[in-house]
């Protein structure tokens, strides 16, 4: 898990630098803000689910989000392969 997380962080930095090479510091601060906001929102939603519906609901919500993300990736890949090469 540590190696996977390290690769994700390295990929984020590389993509941010490629997207905004002249303003890399500002882009990285926005990237960090989005990353930390996502962690905070995930903790908030997980806490609300755990308080209102029980701890097991958090697991089911995570399974649902994972399934939705997988379907989104599969849909994006199939639409990519159907594009005409014009």
Cα dihedral sign for 31, 67, 78, 11? positive
pLDDT of 84 reads: 61
Q: What is the block-wise mean pLDDT of the chain (86 residues), using blocks of 10 residues?
A: 75 88 91 90 90 90 92 87 60
The confidence score (pLDDT) of residue 82 equals 64
Q: What is the pLDDT of residue 71?
A: 96
pTM: 0.61
71 in Cβ contact with 80 (< 8 Å): no
Q: What is the pLDDT of residue 23?
A: 92
Q: What does the DSSP 8-state code read for residue 23?
A: T
Separation CA 78–CA 82 (nearest Å): 6
């Amino acid at each position: 898990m540590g190696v996977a997380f390290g690769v994700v962080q390295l990929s984020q930095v590389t993509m941010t630098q490629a997207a905004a090479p002249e303003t890399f510091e500002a882009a990285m601060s926005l990237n960090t803000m989005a990353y930390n906001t996502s962690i905070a929102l995930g903790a908030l939603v997980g806490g609300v689910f755990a308080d209102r519906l029980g701890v097991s609901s958090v697991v089911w919500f995570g399974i649902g989000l994972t399934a939705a993300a997988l379907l989104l990736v599969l849909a994006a890949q199939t639409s990519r392969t159907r594009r005409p090469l014009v």
